[in-house]
Each structure stands twice: as structure tokens, then as C-alpha cells.
Amino acid sequence: MAILIAMASCIPQKKLIYMQDKSAEKEYSNPYQKAEQITELYKVQAGDYLYIKVNSTREEIDKLYNLGSNQQLTQLGNATSAKYFSYLVKDNGTIDFPYLGEVEVAGKTTTEIRHEIQAKLSRSMDSFSVQVVLTNASFSVLGEVRKPGQYPMSRDQITLFEAISMAGDITGFGKRNQIRIVRPTPGGSTTINVDLTDKNVIDSQRYFIYPNDLIYVEPMAIKQYGIGETFSFSMISWLISIGLFINTLNK
């Protein structure tokens, strides 16, 4: 009987609640520092795709540098089609840009790349602007979420809660206090641990994810017993009723 009741309350509610105030807990020390910068942190890497557009006062000049016609460029519907009009960052960290040859872009932000291309083009033309956009921005979510998979990003940085919501939220058996983010960097991948049950994570540096991040939600130990979310409270109530009936017969 005691076992059945324990099963009915095997996951404490505290483990399922996001953004709790833990400041009153004994020996709590806030591990999160407020983010001083969230944009322009992603560094372009080999395998990325960059959409680069040159805008000038002369259409014939624009055609020399831009991939696709103006009409095609305005009809980019998704990241897959955008790649057809983007420059692939090669393994050596460069792109082949018309009339400029190889331009080194790996390890730089899109703003830094824009400034470099502007500087190179300014030697032969004036009255122009350059636009640089990462067209393969996406992240992946694995583990105890309802819809694991890869998701496109509408901007180069989104919050961790936005990413989790796109994956359908964490299941009832996911460790919300032990989220791992694997982040590739020019110097190698790093792992970041995040506790989503702590409200102090909000607006901290660990609150944001960037292109190519992998989010992993570890399952709770109870998952190893094969108990899933379909194991509803009604089933538990039925088991408790059987236990009470057997207990009555034994009296």
C-alpha cells in the first residue's frame, strides 16, 4: 500500500516548477551573473552559410557581387532555399567572394565580416552598403522534451525558454534543474549547465542560446522503470483502490 501511494507522488512538484525563488534556501549562492552582452557573440564557423548582399546606386554593379536576381533574393522563404543564394564557409574558414577572391570569415561576427568586405570594396567603389546574414541559424534539442529535433532561429540569439517551448516543453520526467547546452566554438565545443528552476537564470549569460547549440534534457531516474506520462493519475487511483480492497480482505 505504501508503495502505491509513493508512486502517486514520486515526482515532487518543486522539480517541475520553472523560475523559483531559491534565495531563501539554506546555503544558496546565486551562480548566475547578469549578461552584459547578448548580441554579436556568435562567431562564424566552417560549414556555415552567409547571405551577402551589396547595395549600390548602380544595378549592374550589384549584379557582379550578388548571388541571384533582386526578385529571387526577396523571395527567400526558408533557410534551405536561402542557402542557394549564400556563400558556404569552407573548411579553411574562407568564402569565395566575386572579384575579391578568398575572404577569411571564420572566427568573426557577421558585423566584423560586413566591415571587412566594405573596406575591401571601398577601394574600387563608393556609395554602397553591405548586408551579411547567417542563413543556417538553427539549434537542436534532445532528451526529455515532447518534440526533439532541429529548429530554425529567427535571430542569432534566443532565450533558453523560447527554445524549450519550440520543442514542446520538457516532459514530466525531464530534469529541469540539469539542462546541458553543448556549444561549438572555434576553439572546440564547451558544455554549459543550466538550472531552469532557478529564476536567477533569467537575463544571465546562460539564459541565451546561439546558432548550432545542442540542448540536452536528462531524464529522471524514475524513467528507467518504464513509467511514462501515459501512466495517469486515474491508473494510480485504480491501483490504490485495489490495494485498499486487498487490505480489507486481509482484516
**Residue 93 forms part of a structural domain:** yes
Which of 134, 160, 175 finishes a domain? 134
- Residue at 230: amino acid letter: T
**Residue 179 forms part of a structural domain:** yes
Do both 108 and 147 map to the same domain?
no
Query: In this predicted structure, what is the pLDDT of residue 225?
Result: 60
Do both 202 and 153 map to the same domain?
yes
C-alpha 231/C-alpha 28 separation (Å) is 35
Do both 126 and 147 map to the same domain?
no
- DSSP, collapsed to helix, strand or coil, labels residue 96 as strand
> How many domains does the chain contain in total?
2
Do both 148 and 203 map to the same domain?
yes
**Residue 250 forms part of a structural domain:** no
More confident position, 189 or 68: 189
Query: In this predicted structure, what is the pLDDT of residue 10?
Result: 60
The mean-pLDDT minimum among 126-130, 223-227, 234-238 falls in 234-238
* Helix residue ranges per DSSP H, the chain: 2-8, 59-65, 70-73, 79-82, 110-121, 160-166, 233-249
Residue given cell 577601394 in the structure block: 123
**Residue 212 forms part of a structural domain:** yes
Which of 96, 117, 134 finishes a domain? 134
Do both 97 and 166 map to the same domain?
no
Calculate mean pLDDT across residues 189-210. Answer: 96
Query: In this predicted structure, what is the pLDDT of residue 106?
Result: 95
Query: In this predicted structure, what is the pLDDT of residue 87?
Result: 93
Can you list the pairs that 3-10 forms with residues at least 24 positions away whose Cβ atoms lie under 8 Å? 4/236, 4/239, 4/240, 4/243, 5/240, 7/227, 7/236, 7/239, 8/233, 8/236, 8/237, 8/240, 10/222, 10/227
**Residue 32 forms part of a structural domain:** no
**Residue 74 forms part of a structural domain:** yes
Which residue range(s) make up the domain with 77? 49-134
Query: In this predicted structure, what is the pLDDT of residue 4?
Result: 43
Do both 128 and 144 map to the same domain?
no
Beta bridge partners of 42: none
pLDDT band at 27 (very low <50, low <70, confident <90, very high): confident
Average pLDDT score over the chain: 85
Do both 211 and 144 map to the same domain?
yes
Do both 141 and 20 map to the same domain?
yes
Do both 18 and 142 map to the same domain?
yes
**Residue 154 forms part of a structural domain:** yes
Query: In this predicted structure, what is the pLDDT of residue 73?
Result: 46
Query: In this predicted structure, what is the pLDDT of residue 15?
Result: 82
The mean-pLDDT minimum among 6-15, 29-38, 132-141 falls in 6-15
Residue 205's domain is classified under what CATH number?
3.10.560.10
Do both 18 and 71 map to the same domain?
no
Query: In this predicted structure, what is the pLDDT of residue 240?
Result: 65
Residue of 217, 109, 200 lying closest to 163 (CA atoms): 217
Which of 99, 134, 169 finishes a domain? 134
pLDDT band at 141 (very low <50, low <70, confident <90, very high): very high
Residue of 84, 17, 88, 77 lying closest to 49 (CA atoms): 88
**Residue 43 forms part of a structural domain:** no
Residue 115's domain is classified under what CATH number?
3.30.1950.10
**Is the confidence at residue 5, as pLDDT, over 50?**
no
**Is the confidence at residue 250, as pLDDT, over 70?**
no
Do both 180 and 154 map to the same domain?
yes
Do both 56 and 106 map to the same domain?
yes
**Is the confidence at residue 75, as pLDDT, over 80?**
no
% of the chain beyond a pLDDT of 90: 59
pLDDT band at 7 (very low <50, low <70, confident <90, very high): very low
Highest mean pLDDT among 5-19, 47-61, 65-79: 47-61
pLDDT band at 69 (very low <50, low <70, confident <90, very high): low
**pTM confidence score:** 0.80
pLDDT band at 186 (very low <50, low <70, confident <90, very high): confident
